[in-house]
Amino acid sequence: MADRIVVTAVGIVSALGTGIDAQLQAMRHGRSGVGKVMHLQSVHAPDFVLGEVKMSNDELATALNLPTGDNGYTRTTLLSLTAMQDLLDQTDVSLLKQEQFAFISANTVGGMCKMEDIYMDVAGAQTEEKNLKYIDTLDCAESTEQIAEHFGLRSLTATISTACSSSSNALMLGARMIKQGVVNRAICGGGDALSRFTLNGFYTLKNVDKTPSKPFDHNRNGLNIGEAAGFCLIEKESEAKARGAKTLAVLSGYANTNDAYHVTAPSPNGEGAVRTMQTALAMAGLQPADIGYINAHGTATANNDLAEGRAIQELFGKQAPPFSSTKPFTGHTLAAAGIIEAIYCIMALQQQMVIPNLNFETMMEELEISPASTLIENATINHVLSNSFGFGGSNVSLVFSKA
């Protein structure tokens, strides 16, 4: 039997806090991180609820032993560094200095969170000295390079941007690189900070709910944007065993397919999503009935939840396993969504729990299935499925199995 790819460490920061324990506590108490805006400077801030990380940039910097103020690190990078630090606190850092190692990150708008505040100065005739150090932070790779430099990684680095499936793709790429012998280990994930750019982008698309989002609810009215970062260390099971590392979960299947249907909307009957989930299950050698929990993409937009709900029903039938969107806890964290939800799946496997789909009240009339609206403890979960679907028809499904 081929060597399996296992997850041996994770790091996370979201609106629920930093680290696994903070996520677990909030989820067990049904406490959402989505709420009033504290940090994002937007004219819409008073009207919206967002999944904002509670720490300010200076607080994040201080926790990382970085200087505060205009230190050249955007919030995108600070969040990613925080999640990386969380991961590295639990693992052997010398592993990362080995040659056959990949660092794969993902984001959607790079350092836009900073650039949107200083752009007119940056694009003007003269740029203030304090802004010059951010001048080249607008692209996606900037934060990847900053993180690599901060932790002294000179190995293979890559940045992916496929909208809301970005960090799921990062994990999948790492697994493929290990299987092909390109590297032995990889840290994969990504991060996105809240920005006015993204908030206004989704708002003009009429995709944003100003009140807490209600995935898979008949009365859903759009998403809440959030921010987060997460990373997973993956390696071959044999290598993990050899170094005595604890295996958190097995990455048993993955698939990347494209809807080839519309620029921003999924195919309404969910054909694309069915194909993605099916391909990932086939790779894991599993039947739909083997899946004990589905962490849905579940953005709470009209389009996504209809397409995804139909797809789950089509593939799993009316007796679908418990499924939920965890976005009411965190907001839709865009490029980070895939990886933090992968981490929630690993938590579900380890804790044998189904994370509730908050804010669900009324069944969708198009569906005969509804999400798990309350926490289920002592569940029997051997395999979990996680969906991430993005603009451009970019779909990824991941399957995790018990170690």
Partner 1 sequence: MKQPLYLISSCSISPQHTYDAGQFLQPVMSCDNGKLFVIDADYAKYISPVAIRRMSRMLKIGITAGMNCIESSGVASPDAIIIGTAHGSVTDMENFLKDMIRLEEQALNPTSFIQSTYNSVNGWIAMMTKCTGYNQTYVHRGFSLELTLLDAQMMLAEATGTKYILAGSFDELTDEYHHIHRKINYFKQETFNSLALFDHYDTPGSIGGEGANFFMLSNEQGNAACAIHTIKMLQKPTSEELIAGINEALAENGLNSTDIDVMMCGMNGDSRSKHLADTLLNSCEPNTTITTFKQLSGEYYTASGFGLWLCDHLFQTQQVPEEIVYRKGSATPIKNTLFCNVTVNGCVSMMVVRRC
Taking the least distance from each CB to partner 1, the nearer of 71 and 157 is: 157
H or E segment to which residue 145 belongs: helix 141-150
Q: Kindly state the smallest distance separating residue 157's Cβ from partner 1, in Å.
A: 7
Q: What 3-state DSSP class applies to 365?
A: coil
Could you confirm whether 164 is annotated as catalytic? yes
Question: Two tokens at 262?
Answer: 């519309």
* Alpha-carbon radius of gyration of the chain: 20
Q: Which is nearer to partner 1, 127 or 382 (CB)?
A: 127
Q: Which amino acid is at 128?
A: E
Task: Name which of 148 and 343 has its Cβ closer to partner 1.
Answer: 148
Q: 22-28: which pairs have CB atoms within 8 A and are 24 or more residues apart?
A: 23/343, 23/344, 23/347, 24/347, 24/351, 26/329, 27/326, 27/329, 27/344, 27/347, 27/355, 27/356, 27/375, 28/353, 28/375
d(CA 106, CA 285): 28
Structure tokens that stand for 151 in this block:
């932790």
Q: Of 169 and 401, which has the nearer Cβ to partner 1? A: 169
The smaller minimum CB distance to partner 1, of residues 115 and 281, is found at 115
| Residue of 232, 332, 345, 383 marked active site | 332
Phi, psi of 115 (to 5 degrees): -60, -35
Nearest to 144 by CA among 318, 335, 277, 281: 335
Full 3-state SS string of 24-55:
HHHHHCCCCCCEECCCCCCCCHHHCEEECCCC
Angle between helical axes of 112-123 and 75-88 (0-180°, round to 10): 150
Give me the catalytic one of 39, 113, 140, 164: 164
Nearer to partner 1, 32 or 267 (CB): 267
d(CA 225, CA 50): 5
Using the structure block, give the residue that is written with the tokens 């993605």. 276
Give yes or no: 140 in active site. no
Q: Choose the catalytic residue: 39, 113, 140, 297.
A: 297
Cβ nearer to partner 1, comparing 152 with 244: 152
- Residue 9 contacts by C-beta under 8 Å, 6 or more apart in sequence? 87, 90, 91, 232, 233, 245, 248
Binding footprint of partner 1 on the chain (CB under 8 A): 42-44, 108, 112, 115-116, 119-120, 122-123, 127, 132, 135-136, 138-141, 144-145, 154, 156-163, 169, 173, 176-177, 179-182, 196-197, 200-201, 203-205, 256-264, 272, 275, 390-394
Give the catalytic positions in this structure. Answer: 164, 297, 332
